[in-house]
């Protein structure tokens, strides 16, 4: 009788002891795995992958060659900057030099893209890669943003003036 009870008690104790161990083991594993995938996505965000900006090159000919009707509009740069600050800066940074979520739009890939290609990217987004669709923004406003982006130009080169 007594020996039976002690046997029962010891087996109960051993399962009781094992359970928290098992649970904490599994929790550790989950936390660890999450840590790894978090670190991976953070790293992916930091170093721009070769696919960044790839969408610009995919613009169909019809769009790529389209002229910006507001390219010479003197008010378009200021209007475009306002729109940019309201809609785009949150991801691409206040000065379009890149932010936590979006790449720099002063990069060569963007500055050398045709206005039509940029307009096409705005219209269609790169949704699977985190760039929203802006087709709800009226066309003239999209062109104003394009004019503003184009006004940024490539990183400054020394100004050679002859006087």
Binding mask 30-69 for ligand HEC (x = CB under 6 A): ---------------------xxxxxx-------------
To ligand HEC, the closest distance from the beta carbon of 72 in angstroms equals 20
Q: Which of 108, 123, 105, 141 is nearest to 64 (CA)?
A: 123
Structure tokens at 61: 């000919």
> Would you count residue 117 as binding ligand HEC (CB under 6 A)?
no
CA distances to 10, 18, 22, 64, 90 from 15, in Å: 9, 5, 10, 69, 53
> Would you count residue 132 as binding ligand HEC (CB under 6 A)?
yes
To ligand HEC, the closest distance from the beta carbon of 85 in angstroms equals 10
Give me the DSSP letters along 31-66: HHHHHHHHHHHHHHHHSPPTTTTHHHHTS-HHHHT-
Q: Which of residues 74-113 bind ligand HEC (CB under 6 A)?
A: 87-88, 90-92, 101-103, 105, 110
To ligand HEC, the closest distance from the beta carbon of 144 in angstroms equals 10
Quote the CA–CA distance of 69 and 57 in Å, as a whole number.
21
**Binding positions for ligand HEC, rule: CB under 6 A:** 51-56, 87-88, 90-92, 101-103, 105, 110, 118, 121-122, 126, 129-132, 134, 145
């Amino acid at each position: 009788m007594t020996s039976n009870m002690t046997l029962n008690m010891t087996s109960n104790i051993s399962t009781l002891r094992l359970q928290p161990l098992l649970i904490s083991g599994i929790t550790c594993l989950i936390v660890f795995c999450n840590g790894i995938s978090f670190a991976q996505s953070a790293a992916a965000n930091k170093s721009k992958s070769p696919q960044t900006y790839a969408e610009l090159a995919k613009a169909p000919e019809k769009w790529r060659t389209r002229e910006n009707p507001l390219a010479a509009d003197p008010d378009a740069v200021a209007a475009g900057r306002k729109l940019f600050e309201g809609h785009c800066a949150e991801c691409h940074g206040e000065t379009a030099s890149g932010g936590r979520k979006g790449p720099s739009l002063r990069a060569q890939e963007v500055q050398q893209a045709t206005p039509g290609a940029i307009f096409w990217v705005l219209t269609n987004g790169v949704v699977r890669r985190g760039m929203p669709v802006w087709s709800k923004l009226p066309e003239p406003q999209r062109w104003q943003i394009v004019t503003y982006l184009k006004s940024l130009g490539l990183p400054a080169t020394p100004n050679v003036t002859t006087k």
